Amino acid sequence: MTPLFITSYTVTSALGHGKAAHQLALRQDQSGLRANDFADAPLTTYIGRVEGVEAIALPAALARFDCRNNQLAQLALEQDGFAASVSAARARHGAHRIAVILGTSTSGIQASEQAYRHRDASGALPDSFSFETTQSMNSLPEFVRHYLGLEGPAFVISTACSSSAKVFASAQRLIESGLCDAAVVGGVDSLCAMTLYGFNALQLVSPEPCRPCDRDRTGISIGEGAGFFLLEKQVSHLSLLGYGESSDAYHMSTPHPEGLGAALAMEQALATAGLSPAQIDYINMHGTSSRTNDSAEDKGMQRIFGTATPCSSTKGATGHTLGAAGAVEAAFACLCLEHGFMPGMCNTLTPDPELGSALQLHAKARPLQRVMSNSFGFGGNNCSLIFGVNP
């Protein structure tokens, strides 16, 4: 495929706001997980909550979009000069030629959860509830498009936990087809009662901070986060080199036990990038810390890479940010490439002896040229991305 260049990016998660905070935390194996203090779902677990989301006020003209997910989106857009970079790109390309493709799994569902708790005697929802601009899937790209003053093709991808990895693939196709010249891609997912209680019903929520790939791992920690990227054709030092998308065709909420779909996505990503497995320096795993995911992903990686390629999961630092995980971890891949390091796996003490991949427990400085990022979701929906840096 024709490579696309990343001319600006930013990330916000439980580790902090913006790139500098993340680089520091990831290099020092710090975790942003905390004992659950999210009032909407008081379960005994740990969460990756972003500080300061509630304090964000949307512009008055966009007040109808007010919900936790869009507050988090705005908080993230204002880090690292991202919104300003988009503004400059708008002057270069024109507002109509910049697409907005974003991933989310639950959009602004917290607004509906609150509205359902405040139905009147007839069962009607409060007048203040605005479905289209909060709960509806398209709320996120519509808010971001207005916030950034863009008028290009805009839509949301919602394929559970691979959502905001797949946005890179769709943007690449849209630009390669000539339907636009640049794209803002990324993803946002925010804490809500549905995902905490839902994953809890599936017995996937850990009572302790999650420990991806640990022998004694007891499930996932749910987090929230946001990542945004500006993709353009003009040469820059960071680039999207390849993407692979596949389906498990196995089960709605359990990955293929042999990692078949995961392996197909990784293989496809290498094929579109025109790279051999040995040319990948580090893999940022999906690594949710569920027993089945980590085992399936390990088998998938071994099938394509053997056992020598260094890999780690950063979910112990951020929690599983679900529909934002693709974008958050794509940003981590870019940080690693720019600053020459591989993150470790905080909280993971004893690597599961049944896993064969080269797990990196501790952050390590090392120059990297190409990094793969894996994202796998419910419905057996898989996406692998490859990013590179020009020295």
Partner 1 sequence: MITVHVAGIGLCGPGMADWPAGRAILRGELSFSSELPNPAPAILPAAERRRCGQATRYALQVAHEAVTAAGIAPTEAAVVFASADADGENLHYILESLATPEHEVSPTRFHNSVHNAAAGYWNIATGAHTPANSIACFDHSFSAGLVEAATQVVTANRSVLLVAFDLPFPSPLNEVRPIVAPFATALVLTPQATDSTLAQLTITLESRGGESRCARAELEELRRGNPAARALPLLQAIAQQQQPSLLFAWGGNDVRVEVKG
Instruction: Provide the binding-site residues for partner 1, judged by CB under 8 A.
Output: 1, 41, 95-96, 105, 112-113, 116-117, 119, 123-125, 129-132, 135-138, 141-142, 145, 151-160, 166, 169-170, 172-174, 176-180, 193-194, 197-202, 245-253, 260-261, 264, 377-381
Using CA atoms, how far apart are residues 273 and 251, in angstroms rounded to an integer? 29
Beta carbon of residue 244, minimum distance to partner 1 (angstroms, whole number): 8
Determine the 3-state secondary structure of 102 from DSSP: strand
256 included as an active-site residue: no
Q: Which is nearer to partner 1, 247 or 369 (CB)?
A: 247
Q: Which is nearer to partner 1, 79 or 112 (CB)?
A: 112
Residue with tokens 């496809």: 268
Beta carbon of residue 183, minimum distance to partner 1 (angstroms, whole number): 12
- Asked if residue 237 lies in contact with residue 6, where contact means CB atoms within 8 angstroms, the answer is no
Which residue among 17, 22, 256, 286 is the active-site one?
Answer: 286
Beta carbon of residue 146, minimum distance to partner 1 (angstroms, whole number): 10
Q: Which is nearer to partner 1, 355 or 372 (CB)?
A: 372
In the beta sheet, which residues pair with residue 234? none
Q: Which is nearer to partner 1, 253 or 369 (CB)?
A: 253
161 included as an active-site residue: yes
Beta carbon of residue 218, minimum distance to partner 1 (angstroms, whole number): 18
- Asked if residue 134 lies in contact with residue 72, where contact means CB atoms within 8 angstroms, the answer is no
Q: Which is nearer to partner 1, 149 or 356 (CB)?
A: 149
- Asked if residue 232 lies in contact with residue 314, where contact means CB atoms within 8 angstroms, the answer is no
C-alpha closest to that of 289 among 203, 357, 218: 218
- Asked if residue 48 lies in contact with residue 14, where contact means CB atoms within 8 angstroms, the answer is yes
Determine the 3-state secondary structure of 157 from DSSP: strand
User: Which stretches within the chain are classed as H helix?
Assistant: 19-27, 68-77, 82-93, 109-117, 139-148, 163-176, 193-201, 260-273, 291-305, 315-318, 325-339
- Asked if residue 213 lies in contact with residue 359, where contact means CB atoms within 8 angstroms, the answer is yes
Q: Which is nearer to partner 1, 60 or 201 (CB)?
A: 201
Using CA atoms, how far apart are residues 240 and 337, in angstroms rounded to an integer? 12
Beta carbon of residue 55, minimum distance to partner 1 (angstroms, whole number): 25
Which residue among 192, 320, 334, 336 is the active-site one?
Answer: 320
Beta carbon of residue 339, minimum distance to partner 1 (angstroms, whole number): 32
Q: Which is nearer to partner 1, 1 or 361 (CB)?
A: 1
Using CA atoms, how far apart are residues 105 and 163, in angstroms rounded to an integer? 7
Q: Which residues contact 1 (CB under 8 A, 6 or more apart)?
A: 172, 176, 242, 243, 272, 273
Which residue among 67, 93, 146, 161 is the active-site one?
Answer: 161
286 included as an active-site residue: yes
Using CA atoms, how far apart are residues 314 and 303, in angstroms rounded to an integer? 22
- Asked if residue 374 lies in contact with residue 262, where contact means CB atoms within 8 angstroms, the answer is yes
Written as one letter, the residue type at 361 is: L
Beta carbon of residue 234, minimum distance to partner 1 (angstroms, whole number): 20
- Residues with active-site annotation: 161, 286, 320
